[in-house]
Structure 1
Amino acid sequence: MTKRITCVIITCIFVTMCFSFFYRERNMMSRNILKLKAKHRPLQANSMASARKPVSFEHKTYVTERTGQPDIKVTHRVLSQKNIIFVVAYMRSGSTMTASFLEANPGTFYRFEPLRGVYNKFKETKANKTTQLKYSKGSRTFKKTKMANVMMKELQAWLTCNLTSLSMETILDRGYTLHERDSCIKDKRTYRNKTSIQSRQDQIKQCVRNLVKDCVKSPSIVLKFIRLSVQDAAYFLPSFPNMKIIHLVRDPRGIISSRDRVGFHYTKNGSIANLCKDIQSNLFWTKKVFQQYNNRIKIVHYEDIAENPYQLVQEIYSFVGYNYSKDTEHFVTSVTDSAKSSCPFCIKRKNSTETASVWRHTIPEDLAETIYHHCKHSMDVLGYLPLENKFQLRNTNIASRITQNTSKRILQSDLTMPPLEESWLHQTL
């Protein structure tokens, strides 16, 4: 009797252990399946958690204990293997002409200033007020503090060809392109009567569908910016392994003089100091990208393009992996050695070399001295000379900069971040 009871007890214990083991294994398997599904869940291009934790990747700056300098720290997920090129520049630095050389390459999907429409919309909004943006499925209202979120979504949409998620402020923003393929603007008079509104909306939808097809089939995407910093551009490098950055620079005296000629007066909004801070910050982050990504950023002088366009375009093409052809050379000639110069915001110049140095004949001496004073450290790194008197300033036979390996000089220089506000993309990260 005792033996029978003992056998029953042992059998119960064994059965209990088997059931316990079975349920534990089943729960573990369920958790693993959920993790696997989460890992391979397709990216929702329209989803964006918040500026503090983007859906696709995270990029933060932090202060290292050893140097006390901000660095790039990333965790990421690859979103595209496309050949992507960012041209990061400054207003009136020759960026439109430089980007046109890249756009001229067959198979390139190009966008001029993809952030301009949204950026201007937010800029019009006063602090603590809201901005309304229009989308294909209706309007959405954002606080001004959410500008970083919106602009990050817009950029990611361009880079992944998810153009149906773009705001109408972006879609309807007219860009300067060779083919007008990226502009969905038609005659705005069609808005005047109700019968044409639906037709107009259908035209825009069809235009966006065409843009998506063009973007998807193009092996290369080129985006040109004057509203994006090198720091912001570097944010996207981990998730786009074939992305490269061209940091275009120009003598700040030439930039300010050119802005003044087209109506952006240097006396407004502390533009000289702001420009110098932007250049200093971009050089700092250019060095960081050189150190961490080596062959994925190239610094280019506008003056080199203007003076030796064929050589420089070949170097740029080699950097981004383009094939320099006879057609490319003919296009370079049409832009830099045209029969006559086109409008101030257009790309064709009768003589690009003269255009690059025209500021030396028109800029006031005291203004040139002020700009050099504000930008001295950055200009020294870039090789721009002080031109200390009127004779040196006006005599174009005297070089305004030294010939050097600027990339090497940047890596050797002690560059620091200027005391300025964080970039729009990182201000809430």
Structure 2
Amino acid sequence: MSDALLKTPIRQPGFPDTPPMTVRSHDAHSNQSRKVLVFAYFRSGSTFTSATLSRLNGSFFAFEPLHVLYEFLMETHRVLDFMNGKIQPPLVQGFEGAYKVSLIQALLTCDLYNVDISTLLLGFLPKFSWQIQHFQECIRNAPGSRDSKYSSSCVDSLKQMCISAPVRIVKTIRLSMETVGRMLDDIPDLKVIHLIRDPRGQFGSGARHSKRNVQLFQHKVCNKVTNDVKTRLELEQRHPNSFLEVIYEDLAHNPQHTVQKMYDFLGLTLPPYVIQWIKESTSAETDDNGYLATKRSNSTEAAYRWLSYVPWNYVVFFQTRCTWLLKHGNFPFFEKKEDMKQFVIPCRPLVR
């Protein structure tokens, strides 16, 4: 990458003329970036939730960094190589926990020489991160031999973007809450947004309707989320003010109010351009934009769409097997099928 390109100011796509991000006055003396972990689950609205934060000017965002670990590195039994020359043997299923912690912590603390090269170059990271896109462009344009492909100047440039970012965000669906507890011991100023969705809607959004799938989903999702919530409640005793629970249905029903709570939790001011993006992304003025979606033509209707097609016997199954979680999230219970059909979806307040 040329020196001229390295020195060129980089603007975040979509908001070329937005003002600098504002920080609450009581935190203005701090020069530390806020470190945010969006802890979520499959089909729980995590892409949109994390996007409401990553839209901040200059934010550093790592989208699903563990995807490459599970879908590529462990499947192919590849060694992990790093920019600092370190090589790590292939990870074995069930023994990858320590590396997951170190990888997330490296991204949150800008220790990018301890992020394996495959994670930086493959997977979902560049999809929602303009800094990673610039990093990969730098790698592609690195002059010279194959060795210079992984030019340290590219990593140094990315690291500087990370260090200077007012907020660093990692979003993942591949952690346990026990792992987060270990992270908080090393990063005590870490802020964790724990995103939860009604498991019936989660199932309806992402699974084919079969008896095997509903039982597998109950085991992998209901039990896991329940354990995570209970673990988090214990962690909150040792780490007060480190967690914010966000219910996806609340976000879909009243997005501006819920996002405002998230920004308050982080001590940030919610800028007008993010409010405008929320309005455009959750109203009937736009179209849904696919599987990894940040836009819904009607976010409230999308959150409760499962009511119209998830079979009644599966609803009963979840209400029996996921009772604790449903009560914790204050999700509606239905005594009979007719109650589900007559359920009134809340009217969504306008985003102004």
**TM-score category by the smaller chain?**
0.7 to 0.9
Matched, 1:103 2:50: no
2:296 to 338, 349, 365: 349
Alignment check: 8 A CA contact 2:304 2:345 kept = no
Structure-2 change in CA distance of 1:182 and 1:142 (3 Å)? same
TM-fit CA distance, 1:150: 2.2
Alpha-carbon separation, structure 2, partners of 1:265 and 1:219 = 47
Is 2:131 aligned against 1:181?
yes
The CA deviation string for residues 232-271 of structure 1, in whole angstroms up to 9 with x for no partner, is: 112222332321111110000011111126x999618822
Superposed displacement of residue 332, structure 1: 1.0
Secondary structure at 1:360's aligned position in 2?
helix
Residues matched between the structures, number: 310
User: Does residue 1:314 correspond to 2:265, yes or no?
Assistant: no
Residue equivalent to 1:327: 273
Superposed counterparts of 1:212-291, under 5 Å: 212-260=159-207, 267=213, 270-291=216-237
TM-score under structure 1 length normalisation: 0.65
- Aligned equivalent of 1:292: 238
CA contact (8 A) 2:60 2:129 kept: no
Q: Greater Rg, structure 1 or structure 2?
A: 1
The offset of 1:177, in angstroms, is 4.7
CA distance in 1, matches of 2:46, 2:218: 19
Could you list the structure 1 runs, at least 4 aligned residues long, displaced by more than 3 angstroms after superposition.
176-180, 183-186, 196-201, 203-207, 263-266
The corresponding residue for 1:41 is none
Going from structure 1 to structure 2, the CA distance change for 1:293 and 1:374 (only over 3 Å counts) comes to same
Q: Report the TM-score, using the length of structure 2 for normalisation.
A: 0.79
344 and 120 in structure 1: CA distance in 2 versus 1, 3 angstrom threshold: closer
Paired residue for 1:340, among 270, 287, 309?
A: 287
Of structures 1 and 2, the one scoring higher in RCO (CA 8 A, sep 6+) is: 2
2:107 aligned counterpart, secondary structure: helix
The alpha-carbon distance between structure 1 residues 201 and 306, as it changes in their structure 2 partners (threshold 3 A), is: farther
| Amino acid of the structure 2 residue aligned with 1:156 | Q
- The alpha-carbon distance between structure 1 residues 123 and 265, as it changes in their structure 2 partners (threshold 3 A), is farther
The answer for the alignment partner of 1:158 in structure 2 is 107
1:201 and 1:343 map into 2 onto residues whose CA distance is: 37
CA distance in 2, matches of 1:221, 1:250: 24
Deviation at 1:206, TM superposition (A): 4.7
Structure 1 segments unaligned to the other structure (5+ residues): 1-79, 191-195, 400-429
CA distance in structure 2 between the partners assigned to 1:266 and 1:180 by the alignment: 40
**1:244 aligned counterpart, secondary structure:** strand
Cα RMSD, aligned residues only = 3.1
1:360 to 289, 303, 307: 307
Residue 208, structure 1, aligned to residue 155, structure 2: yes
Aligned counterparts of 2:158 and 2:211: Cα–Cα separation in 1: 36
What's the counterpart of residue 20 of structure 2?
Answer: none
2:168 counterpart SS class? strand
State the alpha-carbon separation in 2 of the partners of residues 377 and 363 from structure 1. 20
Out of 90-99 and 271-280, give the one that drifted further: 271-280
Residues 328-358 of structure 1 deviation map (CA, whole Å, 9 limit, x = unaligned): 2111112212421111212111111111111
8 Å Cα contact 1:84-1:220 kept in structure 2: yes
Q: 1:374 to 1:352 in 2, by over 3 A?
A: same
- CA contact under 8 A between 1:260 and 1:266: conserved in structure 2? no
Corresponding residue for residue 16 of structure 2: none
What amino acid does structure 2 have at the position aligned with 1:299?
E
**3-state secondary structure, aligned to 1:224:** strand
* Identical-pair percentage: 26
